[in-house]
Amino acid sequence: MTTTEIPRESPVLIEASLGGRRWKRGTLIYSAGGLFTLFIFLLIGDFAWSVKERAVMPVAQVFLKQQEASNFFVALVVGSLPWALSMLLGPIISVRSDRHRGRWGRRIPFLLLPTPVLVLGLLGMAFTPQAGELLHALLGTTSPGQRWCTLGWFAIMWCLFELASVTANAVFTGLIADVVPDSLTGRFYGMFRVISLLAGIAFTYGIVGKAAQYFAAIFIGVAVIYGLGFLLMCWRVREGSYPPPPPATTEGSAEIKRYMRECFSHRFYVGLFLAMMLGLISFSPVNNFGVFYAQKIGLGLDGYGKALALTFTCSLVLALPVGWLADRWHPLNVGLGSIALYAATMIPAGFLVRDASQFAVAFVAHGVLSGLYVTGVAAIGQYLFPRDRFAQFQSAANLLSALGYTLVPPLMGGWLDLTGQSYEHTFIASGALAAASALIYCWLLRPFRALGGRRAYSPP
């Protein structure tokens, strides 16, 4: 990559010595060509990440329903258990990444290590029927039955896959924060959103309707794309150098106290973490059970895939303008506006949807408005978290999000089992969670202005 590393005390732009405009991030400065190259390889990594995110969950949901798994089981395995496990590992890995200094940088090693684990989990899921049958035969008379052996194997592979996925997530955003110039962050995330949506359109329009027949091939394909894409990104993206980290405490308890004090002692950060958490998990009820709702109400898997493709197409048109708006208006303001609009749309939808066409309209609205929020707040950490401990604070936000994802899907799944698959309640639940997020974002505006606001913000 055509970047130049400069001493940390050098000016932001070195016009005379290098010629032409330059962008700086940390000790790295970029020419227009270097910036273009950086974006290409980061976007390759994001494409691999997006294919994984878009394809794996709906295929897993369809497969588990084929195995007659309950809503509670699907929500527990696909939605909650991996997040509960990630709460234990996420903060540890994020802090270690912030403090790591090595020839490959402080982020790249923590992105490389989970990659083979994630690929292994995907390949293990692809061969679940064969593994379940083999496990049932090996256990003999002690086997709980082939169906439960199949579900058990899938659950183990899913946890392996999600642990690697969630672990890499906080470090991935840390890499972006370390190498992308501040003035381009919102627009860069807009480009990320475009790549993600293109991957979603390709998958949902042509493949999701065939998930039941070709789940193994889909899992294998995603494993190949993710493995190659992430390896290429890690090979080609270059990090700068960092100042030495502060001395680490020798006692684990002291390190935990320091982590909790720095991340959770200031009410602005606590409020921000809560608003981010509620905003993200508000989409969970519809995202986790929308495919089942579509089948029950008569839209079917193919119709569900076409509705998702339309959703992604609309979001594709909006992605770059929303990224630009986040840079101009600030992610905090964009997040507040989009999550409030989402709440105002989803709560009525829960009472009004009665047939397949109405569901399709409400589901597309869910996807477009949730996409506005996700794109609008994608760079909020880069704008508001302390730069020298970015991954640590990102992990604290992820910690609360993991708690929400651990609780909400099984509660929603259990409620749906008790109410005879009343999937319209998913819209109401999503809208209520979004309304709570919007209220906290409103509260955050006052301390945000006291800390300098859009033009002079300084992290507390």
Tokens of 205: 């329009």
CA distance 382 to 326: 12
Residue range 47-66: mean pLDDT, rounded = 82
Higher pLDDT, 251 or 53: 53
Residue range 30-41: mean pLDDT, rounded = 85
Q: What pLDDT score does 313 carry?
A: 83
CA distance 176 to 385: 14
Among the listed residues 353, 354, 371, the one whose alpha carbon sits nearest the alpha carbon of residue 362: 353
Report for 147-156, 204-213, 293-302: range of highest mean pLDDT:
147-156
Q: Please state which of the ranges 15-19, 243-247, 248-252, 383-387 shows the lowest mean pLDDT.
A: 15-19
CA distance 27 to 402: 33
pLDDT one-digit tens code per residue, 402-422 = 788 778 888 888 888 888 888
Q: How confident is the model at residue 20 (pLDDT cuts 50, 70, 90)?
A: low
Q: Are 266 and 67 in contact (CB under 8 A)?
A: no
pLDDT one-digit tens code per residue, 203-246 = 666 666 666 677 888 899 989 999 999 999 988 888 888 888 76
Higher pLDDT, 312 or 329: 329
Q: Is the pLDDT of residue 8 over 50?
A: no
Q: What pLDDT score does 248 carry?
A: 63
CA distance 135 to 153: 8
Q: What pLDDT score does 18 carry?
A: 40
Higher pLDDT, 253 or 257: 257
Tokens of 376: 């609008």
- Average model confidence (pLDDT) across the chain: 82
Q: What pLDDT score does 115 carry?
A: 92
Q: What pLDDT score does 398 carry?
A: 78
Q: What pLDDT score does 12 carry?
A: 33
CA-to-CA dists, residue 241 to 26, 109, 162, 238, 364, angstroms: 8, 14, 30, 10, 44
CA distance 45 to 56: 17
Q: Is the pLDDT of residue 444 over 90?
A: yes
Among the listed residues 413, 401, 395, 393, the one whose alpha carbon sits nearest the alpha carbon of residue 83: 401
Q: What pLDDT score does 374 carry?
A: 87
Residue 100: phi and psi, rounded to 5, are -75, 140
pTM of structure? 0.67
CA distance 209 to 346: 25
pLDDT one-digit tens code per residue, 346-363 = 999 999 988 999 999 999
Higher pLDDT, 300 or 442: 442
Higher pLDDT, 136 or 194: 136
For the chain, list the domains and their CATH numbers: 3-241+265-456 (1.20.1250.20)
Q: What pLDDT score does 249 carry?
A: 57
pLDDT one-digit tens code per residue, 178-192 = 888 877 777 777 777
Percent of the residues in the chain that have a pLDDT greater than 70, as a whole number: 90
Q: Is the pLDDT of residue 387 over 80?
A: no
Residue range 327-333: mean pLDDT, rounded = 87
CA distance 50 to 193: 9
pLDDT one-digit tens code per residue, 391-403 = 788 778 878 887 8
C-alpha dihedral over 64, 69, 72, 74, to 10 degrees?
-10
Q: What pLDDT score does 54 carry?
A: 76
Q: What pLDDT score does 209 carry?
A: 65
CA distance 392 to 37: 28
